[in-house]
Amino acid sequence: MKKLISVGILGLLLIIGSISATCLTLDDNNSEKSIMNCCKPPYNDPPVTSIFYNPETGMVILIAEDYPIHEGGVKATYYKIDGGEQQTYTGPFFIGEGTHTVEYWSVDNVNNEETHKTATFTFDSTPPMVDITSPEEGKLYLFGSQIMSTFSRGTLCIGKVPVVAFADDGDGSGVSMVMFSFSNGDSGYDDDGTNGFTYLFKDMHFGALTITAVAIDNIGLTSTPDSMTLDVYNLGLI
């Protein structure tokens, strides 16, 4: 037992000795610094700022931390919106309608400045718009193709009805889909607007048909509906 204790003490002394030796090599001002001061980790780490965004309110929150707490501490947090004027963060702020980039960073009490970070957010409280562009008013369509540039007796479609809608959400969240509905009960949607939002009406139908289109953006806001009425003569065979 005695031997074990001796070995333990010897080991402890060796560890203390090696810590002291390490500390002394760090001390380039000779004997002025104590071992504790000499062994302190460097305090040149800048603060770390985190960003939080609420897409329902458009509000941004910045939270900065600086470690170790008893040394530097956060002096201030700054931000810019879309590269604008630098502002000192004092609390949650509104980014505004549309898509915006926030640049943010903090400085600690010994003036270590954090590398600036950026984040881009979209606040969308505006519904999209939709406009039925085909069939065009006053045109004649035959089996899916427009064959006359003017047609004096309203819009007439013989055969299938190619419906095309233009939809736009400005600089908001973007159009998610356009939903089409028809007075005969048919309905459909298109969620890929690469070549316009389209739907092909193929039902057997004779007489007036009203087409209604509604656009929905990626937040879920819906447009004012756009409607048109035309005459359709379609056997619905193909």
Binding-site ranges for Ca ion (CB under 5 A)? 45, 66, 72, 108, 112, 124, 126, 169, 172, 217
Q: Comparing C-alpha atoms, which of 116, 127, 229, 237 is closest to residue 173? A: 127
Minimum Å gap between C-beta 89 and Ca ion is 17
Nearer to Ca ion, 159 or 172 (CB): 172
In which residue are the tokens 């603060």 written? 47
Nearer to Ca ion, 112 or 198 (CB): 112
Nearer to Ca ion, 99 or 146 (CB): 99
Nearer to Ca ion, 65 or 137 (CB): 65
Minimum Å gap between C-beta 27 and Ca ion is 22
Minimum Å gap between C-beta 97 and Ca ion is 9
Hey, what are 148's tokens? 């006359």
The beta strands (E) that lie in the chain are given as 48-54, 59-65, 74-81, 87-88, 93-94, 98-108, 117-123, 129-134, 140-142, 145-148, 156-158, 161-168, 175-182, 187-190, 197-201, 205-217, 226-234
Minimum Å gap between C-beta 182 and Ca ion is 26
CB contact at 8 A, 139 and 151: yes
Centre a 10 Å sphere on the Cβ of residue 216 and count the other Cβ atoms it contains.
21
Minimum Å gap between C-beta 66 and Ca ion is 4
Nearer to Ca ion, 8 or 68 (CB): 68
